[in-house]
């Protein structure tokens, strides 16, 4: 391993436990190496140690962490670097792209200031103008236009924030990138563009890439080698094509089976009665959106005001009309920043529309009073992309799930507990009494998402809006959660608006698909027809960009 750019040798990592408890190795005797220009994918379920391994590579583990083994970069121990050397090492030698971009971004700094600060911290002699030119060129590579330079992170969609985080990692042209789920929040077209850019840079600049991901199809398309991690250990490693064609370990086989199950689109005919999509038009819609608009203005800065430049308007949702029928699953797909999440929040009246109508159960809800709106919201709930962010870390699972019942005064505390225990059983958190007492931090990502689903269902809504509900989960857990959602749909007679950038998930789950681009619905139709005969050029682009996991 001495000639390798980066090497991990018999690495073990254990986080500090309460006194009296034995150390649990989050990473357990892991060894591998990366050569210059090589791309390697690291896959495995949430909690298996992938991210811990990535942080070990950057020397980002807490001081209390117990570490054995070695991590070397160009033959030099990462753990032996001085603080000054470590500062230079991070960013110039190795850059880390986090899964959650808001852990990387300062909400009080503009996008431009983030870029300028990053460049000047490592290149203090460069002028501000030169730094800006370098930054704008890098931002353009990840499809962030120059007119967003003076905006703040909260004014970006989740996908746009992730593009910015990737741009910040590329600014200093490092020798290696550790990308921890870098495209979780991104649609297939932008994911493809960014990964093509990353792999192109790897080849041109002789830069290595360690891609930590739960997306097997993406790893298969962009990585030379793959390492499969389970319970802190690497259980299988080899050339990507070889591992996919002839997996040796049982866990690798289960991951591939789960990914192929979703990709095959088997969800709409498995263990439940398929909705008769062709009969939708004979029913009254549960939700009708008519010419809905949500426009935002970009306030000019002082110089722009002095120059009397016109106020720019972002048309996040621009004249959207659609209907959703009882018992239907309508998929809303499109690139990050196209307006999907803004549309969902506008439907729920979390943000008031610029114009247009939203009718729910035959009632116009745009102009309802706060009290009337609260009552209406009992019937429509939302499952968010990041379950950890929507669960209060100071509240137990039982308290979080019971909260909507108490807010809407639907039950006494004793009745609420009884209903919560029943609902936890329904979403597969057994024994319910055990999970009732736990906190979100005690749960895996898949378990947290089950809690979020239980919380959304506890008021017995008619409509569930799911905003990327499984994008942060690995393939095996994704499959479990999606099958659970299909079972619950039948039992609770639910209607789903399912927002996703993953076309295979949409095909697996949805009766109809609406394709959104630039704030507009450009195509809508039955799922099979959209996939078999896409009409709009953008839909064709989406389908062409979606990575496909080939069957062995």
**What's the pLDDT at 20?**
47
The distance from CA 35 to its chain's CA centroid, rounded to whole angstroms, is 29
**Which of 44-58, 89-103, 487-501 is the most confident on average?**
487-501
- Whether residue 468 contacts residue 351, with contact meaning beta carbons closer than 8 Å, is answered with no
Count Cβ atoms within 10 A of the Cβ of residue 18 and give its class: 0-12 exposed, 13-18 middle, 19 or more buried.
exposed
Q: Which DSSP string do the residues of 468-517 spell out, in sequence order?
A: STTTTS-HHHHHHHHHHHHHHHHHHT-EEEEEES-HHHHHHH-SEEEEEE
Asked whether residue 25 carries a pLDDT value surpassing 90, the answer given is: no
- Looking at the chain, the whole-number percentage of residues with pLDDT higher than 70 is 93
Mean pLDDT is lowest, of 183-187, 272-276, 517-521, for 272-276
Two tokens at 105? 């971004």
CB-based contacts of 239, cutoff 8 Å, min separation 6: 224, 225, 226
Give the integer Cα–Cα distance in Å for 300 and 147. Answer: 11
- Nearest residue to 223 via CA among 246, 203, 204: 203
> Averaged over 28-32, what is the pLDDT?
92
User: How far apart (Å, rounded) are the C-alpha atoms in residues 414 and 434?
Assistant: 17
Q: Is the confidence at residue 541, as pLDDT, over 60? A: yes
Per-residue pLDDT at 43 exceeds 50: yes
pLDDT of 552 over the 50 cut: no
pLDDT digit string, tens, across residues 397-450: 999 999 999 988 899 999 999 999 999 998 888 899 999 999 988 887 778 888
Please check whether residue 202 is in contact with residue 36, taking contact to mean a CB–CB distance below 8 angstroms: no
Q: Annotate 164-183 with b (16+ C-beta within 10 A) or e (fewer).
A: bbbbbbbbbebbbbbbbbbb
State mean pLDDT over 183-206.
Answer: 77
Average pLDDT over residues 188-209: 80
Task: Give residue for tokens 């009884």.
Answer: 418
- CA distances 142 to 166, 167, 171, 217, 336, Å, are 8, 7, 12, 21, 12
pLDDT top residue among 551 and 134: 134
| pLDDT (mean) for 129-133 | 93
Report all structural domains of the chain as residue ranges with CATH numbers, in order of start: 6-248 (3.40.50.300), 267-379+461-545 (3.40.50.300), 390-458 (no CATH)
Instruction: Indicate the range of 58-62, 240-244, 293-297, 447-451 predicted with least confidence.
Output: 58-62
Read off the pLDDT of residues 362-392 as tens digits, 9 standing for 90 and up.
Answer: 999 998 888 888 888 889 999 987 787 788 9
Look up tokens 């880390």; give the residue: 96
Averaged pLDDT score across all residues of the chain: 85
User: What confidence tier does 274 reach under pLDDT thresholds 50, 70, 90?
Assistant: very low
In this prediction, residue 551 has a pLDDT band, given cuts at 50, 70 and 90, of very low
For residue 18, the surrounding DSSP H or E stretch is: none
User: Is 498's pLDDT higher than 80?
Assistant: yes
Please report the pLDDT score of residue 1 as a whole number.
45
pLDDT, greater one: 186 or 506: 506
- Which pair of tokens denotes residue 293? 């608009």
H helix runs in 264-369, sequence order: 302-306, 340-347
- Report which secondary-structure segment, H or E, holds 188: helix 188-205
Strand 355-360 relative to strand 287-298, pairing: antiparallel
Q: CB-based contacts of 17: which residues, under 8 Å, 6+ apart?
A: 23, 24
Scanning 67-125, the segments in alpha helix (DSSP H) are: 83-88, 111-122
Cα 351-467-515 angle, rounded to 5 deg? 95
- The arithmetic mean of pLDDT across residues 487-496, rounded, is 91
Confidence at residue 193, expressed as pLDDT on a 0 to 100 scale? 76
Whether the model clears a pTM of 0.85, i.e. scores above it, the answer is: no
Confidence band, pLDDT 50/70/90 cuts, at residue 550: low
């Amino acid at each position: 391993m001495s000639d390798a750019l980066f090497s991990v040798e018999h690495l073990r990592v254990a986080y500090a436990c309460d006194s009296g408890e034995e150390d649990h190795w989050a990473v357990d005797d892991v060894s591998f190496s990366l050569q210059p220009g090589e791309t390697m994918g690291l896959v495995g379920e949430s909690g298996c140690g992938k991210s811990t391994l990535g942080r070990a590579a950057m020397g980002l583990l807490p001081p209390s962490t117990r570490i054995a083994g070695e991590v070397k970069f160009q033959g030099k121990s990462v753990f032996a670097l001085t603080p000054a050397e470590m500062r230079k090492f991070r960013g110039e030698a190795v850059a880390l792209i986090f899964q959650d971009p808001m852990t990387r971004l300062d909400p009080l700094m503009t996008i431009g200031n983030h870029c300028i600060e990053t460049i000047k911290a490592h290149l203090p002699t460069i002028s501000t103008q030169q730094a800006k030119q370098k930054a704008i060129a890098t931002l353009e590579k990840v499809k962030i236009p120059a007119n967003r330079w003076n905006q703040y992170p909260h004014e970006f969609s989740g996908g746009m924030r992730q593009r910015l985080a990737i741009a910040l990692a590329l600014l200093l042209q490092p020798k290696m990138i550790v990308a921890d789920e870098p495209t979780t929040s991104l649609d297939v077209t932008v994911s493809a563009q960014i990964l093509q850019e990353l792999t192109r840079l790897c080849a041109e600049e002789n830069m290595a890439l360690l891609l930590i991901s739960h997306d097997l199809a993406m790893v298969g398309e962009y990585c030379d080698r793959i390492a499969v991690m389970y319970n802190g250990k690497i259980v299988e490693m080899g050339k990507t094509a070889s591992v996919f064609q002839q997996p040796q370990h049982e866990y690798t086989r289960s991951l591939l089976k789960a990914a192929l199950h979703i990709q095959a689109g088997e969800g709409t005919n498995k263990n439940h009665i398929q909705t008769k999509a062709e009969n939708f038009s004979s029913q009254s819609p549960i939700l009708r959106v008519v010419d809905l608009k949500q426009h935002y203005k970009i306030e000019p800065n002082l110089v722009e005001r002095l120059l009397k430049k016109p106020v720019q308007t972002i048309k996040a949702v621009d004249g959207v009309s659609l209907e959703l029928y009882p018992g239907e699953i309508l998929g809303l797909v499109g690139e990050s920043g196209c307006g999907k999440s803004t549309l969902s929040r506008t439907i729920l009246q979390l943000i008031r529309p610029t114009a247009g109508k939203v009718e729910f159960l035959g009632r116009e809800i745009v102009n309802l009073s706060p009290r009337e709106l609260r009552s209406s919201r009992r019937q429509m709930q939302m499952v968010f992309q990041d379950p950890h962010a929507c669960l209060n870390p100071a509240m137990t699972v039982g308290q979080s799930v019971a909260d909507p019942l108490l807010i809407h005064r639907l039950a006494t505390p004793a009745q609420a507990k009884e209903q919560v225990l029943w609902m936890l059983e329904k979403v597969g958190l057994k024994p319910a009494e055990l999970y009732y007492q736990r906190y979100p931090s005690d749960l895996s990502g898949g378990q947290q998402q089950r809690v979020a689903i239980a919380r959304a269902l506890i008021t017995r809504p008619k409509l569930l809006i799911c905003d990327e509900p499984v994008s942060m989960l690995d393939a095996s857990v994704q499959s479990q959660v999606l099958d659970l959602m299909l079972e619950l749909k039948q039992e609770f007679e639910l209607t789903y608006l399912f927002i996703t950038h993953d076309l295979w998930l949409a095909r697996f789950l949805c009766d109809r698909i609406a394709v959104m681009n630039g704030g507009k619905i450009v195509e809508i139709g039955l799922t099979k027809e959209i996939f078999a005969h896409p009409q709009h050029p953008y839909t064709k682009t989406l389908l062409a960009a979606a990575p496909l996991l080939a069957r062995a």
